[in-house]
Amino acid sequence: MASALLDRRLLAITGKGGTGKSTITAALALAASRRGKKVLVCEVVANERVANLFGKPASGTEIRLLLPNLYSVHVRPREAMREYALMILKYETLYKLAFENAAARYFLSAAPSLAEIVMLGKVWWHATQEEERGKPRWDLVILDAPATGHGLTFLTVPEVFLQLVQDGPLARDMRDMQSLLGNPDTCRTCIVTLPEEMPANEAIELHKALKAHSLPQGPLFLNGCFEPRFTPQERVAVARGGPALAAAGEAADNHEARADLSSLYASVLGKSVDLPLIKIPFLFDRVFNAQAIEKVAGIIEGAL
Ligand SMILES: Nc1ncnc2c1ncn2[C@@H]1O[C@H](COP(=O)(O)OP(=O)(O)OP(=O)(O)O)[C@@H](O)[C@H]1O
Ligand SMILES: [Mg+2]
């Protein structure tokens, strides 16, 4: 299952805040682009991150080339709303009449999930509708989705919408979106987590919730893992060095403690989550930049 991951049309990456969603998004995008796929990364949270990880300025709402075959765009609610409304209303003047007055703006900002609806709509449009010479413009779209709770709201927007509205152009698009998100051949949602108690528990809950909403999942990424490094003999040898090597001995112990935690949470997650697990090592890079993403991409390529 993991091997075909990059052959989907859409991957959505979610998980607890700060676990490495943008890192994994960037690395997956790099891995796919190296396989000759034309990839678009869509970021939907307030602060754009992925272009920066490749040492490039933020893309903003225009699609920008980051590396050969690898593009990114920042999907923002206001612009997405305007584009989406224009697609339905066709004419700028109609759009202005309908949307650009104070009453409409108030209504739109108060309407629950409207921002999510139009942003997901934009991502879906990139993944399925946009064409270049009769072919889909993108082989793969990777969505750097919001963190856990908001991520779930984001991905279940079509389901919730369709419980309320069944007719009209928006309902039709929502139905198409839901069938894209719910089809394991076209889409996978991947959770990113860390080998620590809170992120691991949150990943387990999120896994259950995605399952309950029939959203097919890709591998679980366990980021920031420590591998055992010192043999017991090596630790004894360092301890024999006396006070001169005390700090080195403590550092080796700390490292092994982190490695034990990594293996503990890998096994906890392995028992509670029926998905392949991809371990990404903790990188000791002093700056987390394109080189770090290269390394993560290499590890993912090896695992897929
Ligand atoms: N494998 C790793 N090894 C070491 N540090 C890492 C690793 N992965 C991520 N980091 C560090 O964690 C930081 C946060 O990662 P990232 O921005 O990918 O998380 P995120 O889940 O997208 O965060 P947010 O919830 O804020 O969007 C990175 O900037 C980097 O410094
Ligand atoms: Mg992020």
How many angstroms does the Cα of residue 287 sit away from the middle of ligand 1? Answer: 11
Q: What is the pLDDT of residues 249-300, one digit of tens each?
A: 999 999 999 999 999 999 999 999 999 999 999 999 999 999 999 999 999 9
Ligand 1 pocket residue status of 74, Cβ below 6 Å: no
Gap between the Cα atoms of 189 and 181, Å rounded: 8
Please indicate whether residue 152 or residue 235 has the higher confidence score (pLDDT): 152
Percent of the chain residues past pLDDT 70, beyond the cut: 91
Confidence (pLDDT) at 88: 65
Kindly state the average pLDDT of the residues 80-107: 69
Task: Calculate the average pLDDT of the chain.
Answer: 91
pLDDT of 87 reads 72
Cα(70) to ligand 1 centroid in Å equals 20
Task: Tell me, using a 6 A CB cutoff, whether residue 291 lines ligand 1.
Answer: no
Q: What is the mean pLDDT of residues 34-50?
A: 95
Residue 97 has pLDDT above 70, yes or no: no
The lowest-confidence range among 66-75, 102-111, 152-161 is 102-111
Residue 26, domain CATH: 3.40.50.300
Q: Which residue carries 């409304």 as its tokens?
A: 85
Q: What pLDDT was estimated at residue 240?
A: 87
Which residue range is the domain that position 34 belongs to?
2-303
Tens-digit pLDDT profile for residues 157-186: 999 889 888 888 778 889 999 999 999 999
State if residue 107 touches ligand 1 by the CB under 6 angstroms criterion: no
Distance, in Å, from the CA atom of 187 to the CA atom of 8, rounded to the nearest integer, reads: 6
pLDDT band at 79 (very low <50, low <70, confident <90, very high): confident
Nearest CA to ligand 1 atom 25: 17
Domain count, the chain: 1
Verify whether ligand 1 is closer than 6 Å to residue 20 (CB atom). yes
Virtual torsion, Cα 64, 144, 226, 296, nearest 10 deg = -30
Q: Which ligand is nearest to the CA of 225?
A: 1
* pLDDT at 3 > cutoff 80: no
Directed axis angle between helix 197-212 and helix 148-155, to 10°?
10
Atom of ligand 1 nearest to the CA of 296: 1
